[in-house]
Chain A
């Protein structure tokens, strides 16, 4: 029911990030077999490695990426952008100079992406861009590198970010004709939970 409502919401408002509601309903720990957990991880990986997500989950050079079908070739963000160690451009050019914080982000074609929270890079330890599925899986399973979260808290983080119109919501509804991350928010949360309930198995 909720999922159906969400799909409807996406159809009505195809452009721009927005407040997205979702539920975290964790299965019993251990109730998901490893094989299903790995299958769920593959779907999670398809989301987090998608350019809508990975372009801003970059390493210690603090340079966001331009990649995906919208760009003729993969490369660093144009205009010599460097978000600095602050990861928000405080030392250089604030991300929010172009990626404005908006109460109702509604991207037109080619507008700079915007969300309801201040635009920024993900913390450096959460690097996804250019990483293998196994590497990202290891990072997301490691509380020292995932913001100190267990698998349920990871799902809650996704829910809460989206409820505030943050980057998770934006990734699934980026507007401006951009290709969204595959699937939808609720499926993504459900997959994270399945993967967690299976004991966070990683490929390889």
Chain B
């Protein structure tokens, strides 16, 4: 393959630059250089580079730019580099790296293009290939959409391979040998006589030569780390209390702060803070935009003082109750105006007119992210610089918004990304970081660590949106003849982009994701998205649009199978138009021993399938109606992610995603009253706990394209459970949480 051909295939080049006492390897693409994140640390005249590997006398540092919120991203990024670099990743430093537009995320943007995820045709592939252009324009260093693995798979391994071959070249030149005669292992170049030269010794020489470009990435059969059950680098720290999260940071002279902010759309009308001023440890009471902060000498004193402050909010002259949300969704369904219609096969109206129509209305509630680490950020700001220590999925947007807020240049703002104690999409928001910056501005030069109370977290989540959907269908001669699903929801994408950047025009694929893109060959099949006005701001919640749509679509499909007297699993297999998905369904039948919905008196089995983020995932849930309530007794999940790079973690992601979906489906909703959620803490938002968690049998297949697995385990869980309850009791529950109608153990 020619060099040009290789570049076109990869879409990027790997290069190197000299750094003080060593060398950095990384990738860039296109002719115009992207901003160089290490520019200040590099010698003058060096080219722009997006570094993934830094080697100097002190050791090897791997840069893992995608944020780790528990999905293991930091580790898998390091493993991808280390696989080709021939080092033990556990012995390297793994760092998130600075914010840079060069770390843009191509895979995430591909996912949001209006392309059917199963479409591998020429046009779809061309559109996907072109998607890196807007990604580069946006400069998105985003973690999300299960995109870290597909995005890094080639870039990171290539960086490792080029670094390895260049280090070999440096050794060959030093020893007067040919690079082909050298091997590498465990961070050394190995000479033919067995002598080992550590990479760290070769770093300076490697920096002075042209990087070796003609590398061939190793085949999976040669992998040492990838695909093997290895111990993730953070496991020991996370089992011994030694893992530092953003909330654990401490600096000399650091102050502590906490915040109470106005409900969304509201502002501060009146503040009575006299009682708080004299409280022990209180440093200052700081008005911020639409809120009040207390700065103190520890967190508890700040929170206590906040409780002693009386604040009256000025509410907007808008509806602030849950009913306004349902009314808005119903109105959106009633209007002829549609946001998108990604699925339109056959003639649905005619097919429905030909006989009895099955109709159903489904509802899903708002859901909070509520990761267990409360939102926090530590900030130190001076006249010329702002440093931010926090866990974020969108460091670029942090820099841009903080620049706008402070008037500092983007070069003067540094984000030190921290290990994150859960996100589920919450760390895609900027609100808490911008508050911390405002607080730090009141004490220039001193670091301030701001921590939200859990109550503040519930009051200020931008939740997964509520939805209403209407299904119409017809069955005849034991077949589903027509399925028509209309979904109303506000646009998560518009809401979020409006907050963190600026509104984007056009239809929002997330409104129908998980319903309008399913590989089912129903002869008359239509899915329509209606965009409702947002009453309260909404955001991405693990698996985004598919989290609710998987339920609506998966349950209504089950209703039609039941009406047609079809077995739902066999029915899906028969309708499935996507080979990779069909193999997932077949595997699920195998491992679950599926013979039908029936499972004896008071017992039932439910099945559901959802293709989301390019991953087909199918699940079976078994329930038993016991004297103590409904119990989930077993669960089974199968997904196809193309290549399993980290089997231990992939199984955990699939199991965890399914349990996350089940827990919220059973127990959780966020409801608004007078502009704020009624739920204030976990006692009113009981997600999955141990006694409700079934054993799960999971299976990962490798037939499709390489994909990530943080999200796709979630969508089939709720419908599989609701369908199982139908099988056990005959009761169709068309509303979440299911605990409104069913008592669980």
Closest-CB distance, B319 to chain A (whole angstroms): 22
Closest approach, in angstroms, between the C-beta of B617 and any C-beta of chain A? Answer: 29
A79 within 8 A of B: yes
Q: State the Cβ distance, B324 to closest chain A Cβ, in Å.
A: 20
Quick check: B681 and A110 within 8 Å, CB to CB? yes
> Across the two chains, which residue of chain A brings its CB closest to B681?
A110
List residues of A whose CB falls within 8 A of some B CB: 72, 75, 78-80, 108-110
Chain A contacts for B684, CB-based, 8 A = 72
- The answer to whether A109 touches B680 (Cβ under 8 A) is yes
Residues of A within 8 A of B691 (CB): 80
B686 at the interface (CB under 8 A from A): yes
The listed residue (B307, B680, B681, B690) touching A80 by CB distance below 8 A is: B690
Which chain B residues border A75 with CB–CB below 8 Å? 743
Residue in chain B with minimal CB distance to A75: B743
Residues of B within 8 A of A80 (CB): 689-691
Q: Quick check: is B9 within 8 A (CB to CB) of the other chain? A: no
Interface residues of B in 317-341 (CB under 8 A from A): none
Query: Chain B: interface residue count, which band?
Result: 10 to 19
- Distance in angstroms between the alpha carbons of A76 and B417 in the assembled complex: 42
Would you give 5 A-B contacts (Cβ < 8 Å), ordered by A? Answer: A72-B684, A78-B689, A109-B680, A110-B455, A110-B680
What 6 A-B pairs have minimum CB-CB distances, sorted nearest first? A80-B691, A110-B681, A78-B686, A110-B683, A79-B689, A110-B680
Residues of A within 8 A of B690 (CB): 80
A72 to B668, CA, bound (A): 12
Nearest-CB distance from A84 to chain B (Å)?
15
Bound together, the chains give a CA A78 to CA B682 distance in angstroms of 10
Cα–Cα, bound, A80→B631 (Å): 13
Q: In the complex the two chains form, what is the Cα distance from A75 to B455 in whole Å?
A: 23
Rounded to whole angstroms, the CA-CA distance of A79 and B693 in the bound complex is 12
Nearest chain-B residue to A81 (Cβ)?
B691
Q: When the two chains form the complex, which single residue of B455, B686, B689, B743 contacts A109, counting CB atoms closer than 8 Å?
A: B455
Chain B, residue nearest A76 (CB): B628
Report B127 CB to chain A, min CB distance, Å: 47
- Least CB distance from A89 to B in Å reads 15
Please name all residues of chain B whose beta carbon is closer than 8 Å to the beta carbon of A110 when the two chains form the complex: 455, 680-681, 683
Q: Which residues of B contact A79 (CB under 8 A)?
A: 689
A78 to B690, CA, bound (A): 12
Question: What residues on A are CB-neighbors of B455 within 8 Å?
Answer: 109-110
- C-alpha spacing A108/B684, complex, angstroms: 16
A175 smallest CB distance to B (angstroms): 13
User: Whose C-beta in chain A lies nearest to the C-beta of B740?
Assistant: A73
Task: Say what secondary structure dominates the interface of chain B.
Answer: helix
- Which residues of B approach A to under 8 Å, CB–CB? 307, 455, 680-681, 683-684, 686, 689-691, 743
Contacts of A108 in B (CB 8 A): 307
B312 to chain A, nearest CB (A): 18
Q: Smallest distance from the beta carbon of B140 to chain A beta carbons, Å? A: 39
Residues of A within 8 A of B743 (CB): 75
Q: How far is the CA of A75 from the CA of B680 in the complex (A)?
A: 19
CB-nearest residue of chain A to B667: A78
A residues in contact with B689, CB < 8 Å: 78-80
**For the complex, what is the distance from the CA of A110 to the CA of B681, rounded to whole Å?**
8
How many whole Å from B213's CB to the nearest CB in chain A?
Answer: 58
Q: Is A78 within 8 A of B683, CB to CB?
A: yes
- Report Cα–Cα, A52/B571, bound state, in Å: 53
Q: Which residue of A lies closest to B689 (CB)?
A: A79
Nearest residue in B to A80 (C-beta to C-beta)? Answer: B691
What residue in chain B is nearest A78 (Cβ atoms)? Answer: B686
Give complex CA distance A109, B681 in Å.
10
Q: How far, in whole Å, are A75 and B628 apart by their CA atoms in the complex?
A: 11
Instruction: State A75–B691 Cα separation when bound (angstroms).
Output: 16
From A82, which residue of chain B is reached at the shortest CB distance?
A: B691
Give the Cβ gap from B692 to chain A, nearest Cβ, in Å.
Answer: 8
Chain A residue with the shortest CB-CB distance to B454 = A110
Q: How far is the CA of A109 from the CA of B691 in the complex (A)?
A: 26
What's the Cα separation between A72 and B691 when bound, in Å?
21
A132 to B689 Cα, complex, angstroms? 33
Please, which residues of chain A bring their CB within 8 A of the CB of B307?
Answer: 108
For B628, the closest partner residue in chain A by CB is A76
Rounded to whole angstroms, the CA-CA distance of A72 and B673 in the bound complex is: 14
Complex CA gap A108/B455 in Å reads: 12
Besides the known contacts A72-B684, A110-B683, 14 further A-B residue pairs in the complex with CB atoms under 8 A apart: A75-B743, A78-B683, A78-B686, A78-B689, A79-B689, A80-B689, A80-B690, A80-B691, A108-B307, A109-B455, A109-B680, A110-B455, A110-B680, A110-B681
> Chain B's nearest CB lies how many Å from the CB of A163?
29
Residue of A nearest to B679 (CB): A72
Give the distance to chain A from B84, nearest Cβ to Cβ, in Å.
47
How far in angstroms is the closest Cβ of chain A from B518?
A: 34
CB distance from B689 to the nearest CB of A (A): 6
Hey, which chain B residues are within 8 Å of A78, CB to CB?
683, 686, 689
CB distance from A114 to the nearest CB of B (A): 15
**B68: shortest Cβ distance to chain A, in Å?**
29
CB distance from B733 to the nearest CB of A (A): 16
Min C-beta distance of A77 to chain B, whole Å: 10
Assembled-state Cα–Cα distance A110/B680 (Å): 9
Q: How far is the CB of B470 from chain A (nearest CB, A)?
A: 27
What's the nearest-Cβ distance from chain A to residue B522, in Å?
39
Chain B residues, CB < 8 A from A72: 684
Would you give the shortest CB distance from B659 to chain A, in whole angstroms? 15
CB proximity of A177 to chain B, nearest CB, Å: 10
Which residue on chain B has the smallest CB distance to residue A66?
Answer: B683
Instruction: Tell me the complex Cα distance, A75–B740, Å.
Output: 13
CA distance A108 to B300 in the complex (A): 12
For B681, list chain A residues within 8 Å (CB).
110
Q: How far is the CA of A110 from the CA of B683 in the complex (A)?
A: 8
CA–CA, A109 to B455, complex, Å? 10
Q: For residue A79, which residue of chain B has the nearest CB?
A: B689
Give bound CA distance, A13 to B715, whole Å: 49
B349 to chain A, nearest CB (A): 42
With a cutoff of 8 Å between Cβ atoms, the chain A residues found around residue B680 in the complex are: 109-110
Q: How far is the CA of A80 from the CA of B690 in the complex (A)?
A: 9
A37 to chain B, nearest CB (A): 39
Q: Report how far A80 CA is from B683 CA in the complex, Å.
A: 13
Give the CA-CA distance A203 to B680 in the complex, in Å.
41
User: Residues of A contacting B686 with CB < 8 Å?
Assistant: 78
What separation, in Å, do the CA atoms of A108 and B680 have in the docked complex? 13
Beta-carbon nearest neighbor of B669 in chain A: A72
A72 to B689, CA, bound (A): 19
